[in-house]
Amino acid sequence: MNQTNQRVSWLGVGRMGEAMAERLLAGGVGVQAWNRSPDKVAGLVAAGATLLASPALSDAPVAFSMVLNDEALDALWQADDGILAGARPPDVWVDCSTVSPAASQRAADAAAARDVAFVCAPVSGNPLVVRSGNLIFAVSGPPAGVATATPLLRHIGRAVHVAGRGHEARVVKLCTNLVLAVLTQALAEALVLGQSHGVRRAALMEFINDSAIGSPFTRYKTDAFVRLDLEPAFTPEGQRKDLRLALRLAAEHEVPMGVSSATEVEFSRLVASGLGEGLDFASLVLLAARDAGIAIEPEHD
C-alpha cells in the first residue's frame, strides 16, 4: 500500500460500499467509515478504516455515499447528524447510489446551500467486479467537483465516463440497468425455449457467448443460468426498483416503454412468486421454466 495524505469519509457500508472503500484503502487513501448499522463497518475497520460515529463528525474534504434508495439518500442530508449538519461539511460529496434524478437534485440543492459540490457517480458492476478492479462510473456534476472526485474514483474502478454537469449520470445508470433487466428476461425465455426442444442450456449459452450478442454480462451470468448458481450479485427486488425508476422517468416525458414495462411485470411476478427470494435476479429463469411447465435442474459438465 502506498500511503497518501488523501482522506475521505465513506457513508453506507453495504456489500458494494464495503468493496469500494476497500479499494480506496488499498490505494493508500485514509477512510472514515459510517453505516446506519455500525456492526457492518467492522470489516473496513479491520482493514484500516476509522469508525465514524456519524456523518456530521467527519473532517474529510471528500465524502462518498453508497445507499439503497431515494429515501436513504434523503436521510443522509436531512438527519440532525447527517452529512451536511457538521460545522465543517465536506468540500465535495460524491454519491454512488442508484437513485432517481429527483432525489439527486434534492441532495444537490441541500449541498449547494452549504457550499458543497455534489457529484453523481453511479456504478456498473457488483462486489466481484469491484474487487477485480473492473468497476466503471457514470459521472456528472460541477466540473470542479468532478475533477476532485475523478482520481479517487480511479482508485476504485477502471473507467470514469463523464455524462454532463447536472444529474445526467443518474439517467445513464437507469438506462443501463433497464437494458440489463430486459436482456436477462430475454435470456431466461430463450433458455427455457431451447430446453423445451432438447437443447442444453450450456450449449445455448456457449453459442450465445461466441456470437455477436455475447458480452461480458452473458459470459458472467452463464453459471447462473446453466448451473443455477444464483448466489445474489443483485437481487430481483433491487433490479425491479431500478427498472421502476427508469419507467417513472419515461412517464414524465411520455416516452413509450413497451418492452421495459413488460419486463417490470415479470420481475414483479418473480418477487410475488417467492422463487427469487434470496437469489440473484437471474432467477427469472426459474419463473420462465415454471410458466412453461418445465422442470429446470442444474447442468454440470
d(CA 89, CA 44): 22
Q: Domain range holding 77?
A: 7-165
With a cut of 60, say whether residue 214 has pLDDT above it: yes
- The CATH number linked to 26 is 3.40.50.720
Q: Summarize pLDDT for 91-112 with one digit per residue, the tens.
A: 999 999 999 999 999 999 999 9
What is the predicted pLDDT for the residue at 3? Answer: 52
Residue 301 falls inside a structural domain: no
Q: Are residues 11 and 113 part of one domain? A: yes
Q: Are residues 197 and 73 part of one domain? A: no
What is the predicted pLDDT for the residue at 1? Answer: 45
Straight-line distance from the first to the last Cα atom of the chain, in angstroms, rounded to the nearest whole number: 41
Residue 298 falls inside a structural domain: no
Q: Are residues 157 and 13 part of one domain? A: yes
Looking only at the bridges linking them, the beta strands covering 123-124 and 136-140 are: antiparallel
- 3-state secondary structure at position 280: coil
What is the predicted pLDDT for the residue at 4? Answer: 61
With a cut of 70, say whether residue 2 has pLDDT above it: no
Q: Are residues 122 and 41 part of one domain? A: yes
d(CA 245, CA 297): 33
**190 closest CA partner among 146, 223, 225, 139:** 225
What is the predicted pLDDT for the residue at 5? Answer: 74
**92 closest CA partner among 129, 146, 140:** 146
Q: Summarize pLDDT for 55-72 with one digit per residue, the tens.
A: 999 999 999 999 999 999
- The CATH number linked to 247 is 1.10.1040.10
Residue 299 falls inside a structural domain: no
* DSSP classification of residue 137: E
- DSSP bridge pairs for 138: 161
d(CA 268, CA 236): 8
Q: Are residues 262 and 129 part of one domain? A: no
The pLDDT of 21-50, averaged and rounded, is 96
Average pLDDT of every residue of the chain: 96
Whole-structure pTM value: 0.94
